[in-house]
Amino acid sequence: MRGLMQHGALTVDKILDHAARWHGGREVVTRSIEGPIVRTTYGQVHDRAKRLSNALLGLGVAPGDRVATLAWNSGRHMEAWYGIMGLGAVCHTLNPRLFPEQIAWIAADAGDRVLFVDLTFLPIVAAILPRVPSLEYVVVMTDPDHMPAFAPAGDAPHFKGLLCFETLVEEHSADASWGGFDEETACGLCYTSGTTGDPKGVLYSHRSNFLHTLITLQPDVMGLSQRDVILPVVPMFHANAWGVAFSAPATGAKMVMPGAKMDGASIHELLETEGVTFSAAVPTVWQMLLQHLQATNGQLTTLKKVVIGGAACPEMIIRAFHDDYGVEVVHAWGMTETSPVGTLSTMTEELAQLPYDQQMPYRLKQGRPPLGVELKLTDDEGARLPSDGTSFGHLKIRGSIIARAYFKGAGGEILDDEGFFDTGDVATIDARGFMQITDRAKDVIKSGGEWISTIEIETIAVCHPKAAMTAVIGVAHPKWDERPLLLVKLKPGETASPAEFLDFLAGKIAKWWTPDDVVFVDDIPLGATGKIDKKLIRQRMKDYVLPAVAATAS
């Protein structure tokens, strides 16, 4: 017997329809690429997005076609998103932090036909156009007064023209028909960072993005409401801005978009002038903000909660927000393949009753999965491991917002026999259900048959008062296979000895986890998503030999 309830396809155009109908006057504020602060509303975003849908139809874009964006967080970027998705095309967010050769490969693999681009990234577009034969039009997200002179860096016979965003909006009607297609229709496309092999496309459906939006609104996830003012520092080109570009209009929350300026001073200015209550970003952004606040004696008068993900969050950031500014930090984990919410370190009722210091071990973990997400740990043979907080295993995930395959079948079968996706992370899950990432599977150090967590050592070492950034890799050892090496980038003007850092770690980690050496470096490279690029570090350190090993050899 089937239920007798109405059925409506879960398509994301309905999110902006709802925002325009019930929260039409709520602001979307942008620090524009041209400079000034620009204010619009959900009603205006809705109208302009529909005009862009008609413009795209006029350019020959059809449902299922891929339309790319190469842009910062802005009201215009929101309009492009919904204009693309509303007509049934696929919004493909390109990451400008990749090398031009990588961007060209990704755009060509996706078969992008139209590209919306910010002025900032026109040099990238000029370089990639000859390498992307499917790309016919480039829409510059500006007004006629700021339209640039432009020419591809090479022959691009497929390229039909450079168009002005504001001219397209002005020239087309808002009478566009949205939706009307199956909820499993492809909606968005985002490629992995490609740290191993070529990048792979994650193809979101309207249904998965709609369900992900409902998940983010759970009180134990982001808990957003119409009363919030949201600053998504995490880019819209990074895993859907963690879903905030859907979640905010779904509730009618005011949005504040930072554009290209994401330094500590610029973020602080927006937080204070716009009355931001909620924000989300990777740890490096919050480190810059805290450094700015400390240097200027700045305050956070309206901010209540920040979600920090993308990399392990050091304890010093969590404590500084809580102790100095009264802001709650929610540590989160996810990935492109999970839409991206996977887990959050929201305190359970039991833990919330404990003193803050006793909560800290759980706040440092990546947390518990929300309704709609399932986790398991397995050993190398695929057997399940217990949730005892000590058993290290391969982290696998399942749910309606989790990828079941990559675009064009890249990578082949990616699910196990129970339908779980292998995240590539090594983790533990404790008796309270809190998951903790201990490493990427390719980064974990295997020493004497046991695993050592590089992430745990890094998050402790970076709390040393002289450390600006730290990284740990495994290096070859004749007896133990691998031993940890700690790399430290010091704060400007500081000097230190290896013994200072080894003494700092003593008593905070297992003795046999202690790094065999500490190397001070001028730079610790970050990848395109803001994570430490250990692949590049290993390449740089490929000729390094541990002192004890070198002494034995001599």
Catalytically active residues are 192, 337, 446, 451
Region 356-370 average pLDDT: 96
Would you give the distance in Å from CA 114 to the centre of its chain? 24
Per-residue pLDDT at 239 exceeds 90: no
Predicted local confidence at residue 113, as pLDDT: 98
Residue 272 to residue 281: CA distance in whole angstroms: 17
Per-residue pLDDT at 347 exceeds 70: yes
Tell me the domains of the chain and their CATH numbers.
8-207 (3.40.50.12780), 451-553 (3.30.300.30)
Predicted local confidence at residue 554, as pLDDT: 61
417, two tokens: 């026999």
Predicted local confidence at residue 196, as pLDDT: 56
Residue 217 to residue 172: CA distance in whole angstroms: 34
Region 166-174 average pLDDT: 98
547, two tokens: 């002192």
The residue written with tokens 């960072």 in the block is 193
> C-alpha distances in angstroms, 486 versus 313, 482, 550?
18, 13, 17
Q: Is 322 exposed, middle or buried (0-12, 13-18, 19+ CB in 10 A)?
A: middle
Q: Is 110 exposed, middle or buried (0-12, 13-18, 19+ CB in 10 A)?
A: buried
Residue 518 to residue 554: CA distance in whole angstroms: 21
Predicted local confidence at residue 283, as pLDDT: 87
The model's pTM: 0.88
136-139, long-range: CB < 8 A, 24+ apart: 136/59, 136/60, 136/160, 137/59, 137/113, 137/161, 137/162, 137/163, 138/114, 138/162, 138/163, 139/80, 139/114, 139/115, 139/163, 139/164, 139/165, 139/168
Residue 364 to residue 456: CA distance in whole angstroms: 10
Interacting residues of 349 by C-beta distance below 8 A, sequence separation 6+? none
Pick from 37, 51, 70: nearest CA to 257: 37
DSSP E strands in 53-212: the ranges are 66-70, 90-93, 114-117, 137-140, 161-164, 186-191, 201-205
Predicted local confidence at residue 365, as pLDDT: 95
Pick from 154, 249, 127: nearest CA to 117: 127
Q: Is 539 exposed, middle or buried (0-12, 13-18, 19+ CB in 10 A)?
A: exposed
Predicted local confidence at residue 163, as pLDDT: 97
Region 219-240 average pLDDT: 95
pLDDT-derived band at 491 (thresholds 50, 70, 90) equals: very high
Pick from 313, 363, 321: nearest CA to 463: 313
Predicted local confidence at residue 441, as pLDDT: 80
Render pLDDT for 21-52 as a digit per residue (tens, 0 to 9).
999 999 999 999 999 999 999 999 999 999 99
The residue written with tokens 């990588």 in the block is 102
93 within 8 A of 190, measured Cβ to Cβ: yes
Render pLDDT for 77-123 as a digit per residue (tens, 0 to 9).
999 999 999 999 999 999 998 889 999 999 999 999 999 999 999 99
For all residues of the chain together, what is the average pLDDT?
Answer: 94
Predicted local confidence at residue 528, as pLDDT: 75
pLDDT-derived band at 256 (thresholds 50, 70, 90) equals: very high
Region 469-480 average pLDDT: 91
Backbone angles phi, psi at 38, to 5 degrees: -115, 135
454 within 8 A of 473, measured Cβ to Cβ: yes
Predicted local confidence at residue 553, as pLDDT: 66
The residue written with tokens 């396809």 in the block is 9
Region 197-210 average pLDDT: 94
pLDDT-derived band at 198 (thresholds 50, 70, 90) equals: confident
Residue 68 to residue 118: CA distance in whole angstroms: 12
Interacting residues of 92 by C-beta distance below 8 A, sequence separation 6+? 66, 67, 68, 69, 107, 110, 112, 188, 189, 190
Would you give the distance in Å from CA 288 to the centre of its chain? 17
Render pLDDT for 260-294 as a digit per residue (tens, 0 to 9).
999 999 999 999 999 999 999 988 899 899 999 99
Predicted local confidence at residue 73, as pLDDT: 98
Predicted local confidence at residue 122, as pLDDT: 96
Predicted local confidence at residue 444, as pLDDT: 82
Predicted local confidence at residue 297, as pLDDT: 97
Predicted local confidence at residue 478, as pLDDT: 87
Per-residue pLDDT at 126 exceeds 70: yes
Q: What angle (nearest 5°) sits at the alpha carbon of residue 167, between those of residues 166 and 169?
A: 65
Render pLDDT for 392-435 as a digit per residue (tens, 0 to 9).
899 999 999 999 999 999 999 999 999 999 999 999 999 999 99
Predicted local confidence at residue 23, as pLDDT: 98
Tell which wins on pLDDT, 451 or 77. Answer: 77
Predicted local confidence at residue 12, as pLDDT: 98
Per-residue pLDDT at 131 exceeds 90: yes
Helix axes 244-251, 13-22, angle to 10 degrees: 30
